Amino acid sequence: MFKNYLKIAWRNLVKDKTNTSLNVIGLSVAFAVAVLLGMAALFQLSFDGFHENGASIYKIVKTQQTPRGPEAGTVQPAPLAPSLEAEVPGVKRITRFLQDGALAIQGDKEIDIDIIWVDEGFFSMFSFPIIKGDGNTPLAQLSSVVLTKKAANNLFGSTDVVGKTFHLLVKGKEVPFTVSAIADDMVAETNLEFQMAGRFESHADYLDNKEQWDSQYHDVYVELEEGVSSTSFESGSRGFVDLHFKDAIEMLKRDGASADENGRYVNLELVPLADVHFTSLKNGYVSVSRSLPYLILGVAFLILFIACVNYINMSIAKSAKRLKEIGMRKTLGAQKKQLFFQFWTESLFIFLISMGIGVILSFVFVNDFKTIFNTQVSVDMLLRPSFLVGLLAMVMLITVFVGGYPAILMSRLGTIQSLKGKLESTGNNKVRDVLMVFQFGIAIALITGTLVLWGQIDYMRNKDLGYDKEQVVSFPLNGKRNSNDVIELLREELKGNPDIVSISGADINLGLGRDGSRSSSKIGFEYKGRSVTTNFLVVDHEFVQTLGIDMVLGRNFKNASDSLGVVINEAMARELGEEDPLSAQLEISNGVHIPVLGVVKDYNFKDLDRAIEPITFYMSKEWGLSYAFAKVAPHNMASSYEALENTWKKLEPNAAFLGSFLDENVDRTFNREKTTAKMVASGSVLSIILSCMGLFAMSLLIVSQRTKEIGIRKVVGASVASITYILTKDFLKLVLLAFLIASPVAWWIMGEWLQNYAYRIELSIWFFVAAGAIAVLIALLTIGTRTIRAARVNPVKSLRTE
């Protein structure tokens, strides 16, 4: 019997080639896209999911109630972790975690290396497999370090280097470290990545900060004892917090902060390791949001849905052609069940073929997918048992519902009606119409989303940020020389080049540079009996003119030794609340009063999703600079860039030149938006193509079913135009209905999304009109050609084919 089903299934599929291939193409593409997007989403969702103890590991977040509202931060003071371990019950292991980079020196090799400084138990807490050396206590010695396979190969040219020594350049001095173990190379799904792991106590700043509770500069991860819950630990840590943050709490009270619902000012909160990748500290609260991976999964699901709708609609429409067969089989003794299985087998056939092609397609395109969408999924993910099982389950589910529904409809038809060849079913058309409205609704919503995303990105790219981003190059000072000296040397070297307008430096970059690192620095101090918080930027004296930031009051730094004052922005001036900001004296460190020299116009030194905060520029030789900024003339920009690179190579022959224009840096900060936009855009393109494939197939079927009607109408004198209109209007109505339903939904979703940005576009009606127009136009083109052709056929011919 089954063989018979297969045979009939095969013949039916072959007979209707257009329909079958439309179905197979649509489903294959949808499956391929679903597999790729599914992998991308799972990749995100599985971040740091591989640690065996992961379920009991947490990141510590400190939240405090300030007069301006709650604030949350992950950076902690150095004594916190050891004190927590000693004083609060329930800690199994705890580690500080400081990400850093330094120049590693081995023989004549000098390489920039990514370092994490951690506590002894790090490798027992986290599951980074050690492949050589001491796997149990690799960090028992203060001078011990763990290198990854790749880092060892880069530095030593081999991984057989356990016991060997190399040097790190720390504050201008070469400090020796000994390799105790080699770790396997990192999987991409971790936020704890490193090339070298060393003991926290060996970090250059440790000795100064060992006992400092008010200097916060690293993360802390804690592993709780079995049976200890995060909430019981959080409440257990309250006494500890009150003891160690006593001064800070006093100050918050005095400044008029209001306590939280538990009457507290400072709390330690635990964020589960699995949530860390999705945590943001928005508005002072820890918020965990997996919306991006779920958005990706959502797009994948929608595309599958659209392809499945096509399949259902085509099967139902096609069933009209098979009425005779159904009736005949029934009179020959076929039961409903048997007919159901026959039709279902046909579906299974199509789904399995499409699935196969889909998986092959996803293999073929996985590399393009990775580059275009900026994700690090790999083919191995496809082969993981959990993924395969999920995939199979999905196909089975789809086959049951999508293949089952038309099969049930067909097997239920009455014998006599089927034999007469007439469907008495207006009900089926209703299902079809609802499904098509859904399809086009999805497509229209995705198109709207794409347009709005593009609009916002375009807005962010072109917004005047208050500084000159087109003509300024920044590059990290990642060499051996003292940073202030090297800025002077650069000035000296490039003095004769008329295209280099000016050069300066700061300790924080603007946007995201090619070194891929971002930081921010904030300080708080007392001002007239209140505490004031400001971003803090160590600069060189020519910073303001190099960046082209406008002065609104007072003056800029005059020269390198003009370091007895600060320059602030307008937001900071407002924060100080002085009528004349220039009269303010800031007591940034105890007992020293620093005058405000000038005020610059507000500029967006952080991403556009935030309002401009107060910032203070300060010059200090001790604190050093991390980035150089060079303003170039508007012409010959390429050769100016080259001149910078060559000069840098000359000054620091062993350091890479990672310069880029600030507009590129700013562009990089919305990589996430660009990726989202690309995903939604390709989703919308695919969904409109798939929907139109369905529409096309439906119009073919409808036209063939109405051949006789068309013929009769023409015989009695209908024009080509009126017939085209009759054939098209039903579908167009559906697309318009879809537009009316989808637009408010898209309006709401995109409105919510834009709320994330302090600087954003207005949701104009034109986004929606454009999306609707695009959908209608494409739909018209899809059905138009076929229907016009059908309408033009000689009526005698169409009547005879009946």
Under rule CB under 8 A, residue 18 binds another protein: no
Question: Minimum Å distance from CB 740 to another protein?
Answer: 36
Inter-residue contact 461 to 667 (CB < 8 Å): yes
Cα dihedral 745/750/752/758 (nearest 10): -160
Under rule CB under 8 A, residue 2 binds another protein: no
Q: How many CB atoms lie within 10 A of CB 640?
A: 23
Inter-residue contact 358 to 24 (CB < 8 Å): no
Under rule CB under 8 A, residue 232 binds another protein: no
Q: How many CB atoms lie within 10 A of CB 397?
A: 10
Distance between CA 552 and CA 554 in Å, rounded? 7
Distance between CA 119 and CA 114 in Å, rounded? 17
Taking the mean position of all CA atoms in its chain, how far away is CA 215?
31
Of the candidate spans 11-19, 263-271, 381-389, 750-758, the one that interacts with another protein by CB under 8 A turns out to be 11-19
Interface residue with another protein among 37, 102, 145, 334 (CB under 8 A) is 334
The mark string for 357-396 relative to another protein (x by CB under 8 A, - otherwise) is ----------------------------------------
Burial class for 721, CB neighbours closer than 10 Å (0-12, 13-18, 19+): exposed
Under rule CB under 8 A, residue 201 binds another protein: no
507: tokens are 């300790």
Inter-residue contact 585 to 593 (CB < 8 Å): yes
User: How many residues at the interface with another protein, by CB under 8 A?
Assistant: 21
Nearer to another protein, 17 or 635 (CB): 17
Question: Minimum Å distance from CB 793 to another protein?
Answer: 23
Nearer to another protein, 412 or 729 (CB): 412
Interface residue with another protein among 83, 143, 415, 545 (CB under 8 A) is 415
Distance between CA 77 and CA 403 in Å, rounded? 60
Question: Minimum Å distance from CB 10 to another protein?
Answer: 10
Question: Minimum Å distance from CB 428 to another protein?
Answer: 22
Of the candidate spans 138-146, 332-340, 354-362, 523-531, the one that interacts with another protein by CB under 8 A turns out to be 332-340
Interface residue with another protein among 26, 198, 327, 581 (CB under 8 A) is 327
SS (H, E, C) 174-238: EEEEEEEEEECCCCCCCCCCCCEEEEHHHCCCHHHHCCCCCCEEEEEEEEECCCCCHHHHHHHCH
Nearer to another protein, 425 or 517 (CB): 425
Under rule CB under 8 A, residue 83 binds another protein: no
Three-state SS at 574: helix
Nearer to another protein, 558 or 800 (CB): 800
Question: Minimum Å distance from CB 11 to another protein?
Answer: 5
Question: Minimum Å distance from CB 320 to another protein?
Answer: 15
Interface residue with another protein among 111, 328, 551, 681 (CB under 8 A) is 328
Under rule CB under 8 A, residue 16 binds another protein: no
Interface residue with another protein among 260, 325, 526, 730 (CB under 8 A) is 325
CA distances from 190 to 48, 281, 473 (A): 5, 19, 31
Question: Minimum Å distance from CB 357 to another protein?
Answer: 25
Phi, psi of 378 (to 5 degrees): -135, 165
Nearer to another protein, 149 or 322 (CB): 322
Inter-residue contact 600 to 549 (CB < 8 Å): yes
Under rule CB under 8 A, residue 8 binds another protein: yes
Phi, psi of 661 (to 5 degrees): -65, 150
Taking the mean position of all CA atoms in its chain, how far away is CA 774?
28
- Contact positions with another protein (CB under 8 A) in 533-552: none
Question: Minimum Å distance from CB 694 to another protein?
Answer: 25
Under rule CB under 8 A, residue 15 binds another protein: yes
Interface residue with another protein among 51, 59, 132, 329 (CB under 8 A) is 329
Inter-residue contact 37 to 299 (CB < 8 Å): yes
Interface residue with another protein among 253, 254, 324, 463 (CB under 8 A) is 324
Of the candidate spans 274-282, 321-329, 683-691, 768-776, the one that interacts with another protein by CB under 8 A turns out to be 321-329
Under rule CB under 8 A, residue 800 binds another protein: no
Interface residue with another protein among 107, 163, 172, 333 (CB under 8 A) is 333
Interface residue with another protein among 172, 256, 332, 802 (CB under 8 A) is 332
Of 693, 791, 779, nearest in space to 736 by CA: 779
CA distances from 163 to 169, 400, 686 (A): 20, 60, 56
517: tokens are 């690192």
Question: Minimum Å distance from CB 349 to another protein?
Answer: 15
Question: Minimum Å distance from CB 48 to another protein?
Answer: 56
Nearer to another protein, 2 or 383 (CB): 2
Nearer to another protein, 304 or 326 (CB): 326
Under rule CB under 8 A, residue 218 binds another protein: no
Under rule CB under 8 A, residue 556 binds another protein: no
Under rule CB under 8 A, residue 65 binds another protein: no
Nearer to another protein, 1 or 383 (CB): 1
The mark string for 417-436 relative to another protein (x by CB under 8 A, - otherwise) is --x-----------------
Please provide the size of the chain in residues: 802
What amino acid is encoded at 502 in this protein?
S
Of 141, 88, 31, 773, nearest in space to 391 by CA: 31
Of 728, 732, 697, nearest in space to 311 by CA: 697
129 Cβ contact partners less than 8 Å away, ≥ 6 residues apart: 183, 184
Three-state SS at 91: strand
Taking the mean position of all CA atoms in its chain, how far away is CA 65?
30
What amino acid is encoded at 473 in this protein?
V
Of the candidate spans 73-81, 159-167, 326-334, 555-563, the one that interacts with another protein by CB under 8 A turns out to be 326-334
Helix (H) or strand (E) segment spanning residue 455: helix 426-462
Distance between CA 89 and CA 222 in Å, rounded? 12
Under rule CB under 8 A, residue 699 binds another protein: no
If phi over 0 gives left and psi between -120 and 50 gives alpha, with beta otherwise, what is residue 528? Answer: left
Helix (H) or strand (E) segment spanning residue 61: strand 57-66
Residue with tokens 């790090």: 122
The sign of the torsion formed by the CA atoms of 333, 338, 344, 348 equals negative
Nearer to another protein, 14 or 638 (CB): 14
Interface residue with another protein among 288, 416, 777, 781 (CB under 8 A) is 416
189 Cβ contact partners less than 8 Å away, ≥ 6 residues apart: 43, 46, 47, 48, 49, 50, 376
- Contact positions with another protein (CB under 8 A) in 751-780: none
Question: Minimum Å distance from CB 14 to another protein?
Answer: 9
Of the candidate spans 330-338, 474-482, 600-608, 723-731, the one that interacts with another protein by CB under 8 A turns out to be 330-338
The mark string for 621-660 relative to another protein (x by CB under 8 A, - otherwise) is ----------------------------------------
Interface residue with another protein among 83, 143, 215, 338 (CB under 8 A) is 338
Of 361, 395, 396, 392, nearest in space to 379 by CA: 361
752: tokens are 């919510």
Nearer to another protein, 12 or 787 (CB): 12
Nearer to another protein, 263 or 333 (CB): 333
Report the Cα–Cα distance between both ends of the chain, in Å, rounded.
33
Nearer to another protein, 11 or 210 (CB): 11
H and E: helices and strands count for the chain = 28, 25
Of the candidate spans 205-213, 322-330, 449-457, 569-577, the one that interacts with another protein by CB under 8 A turns out to be 322-330
**What does the binding site for another protein look like in residue numbers (CB under 8 A)?**
1, 4, 8, 11-12, 15, 324-325, 327-335, 338, 415-416, 419
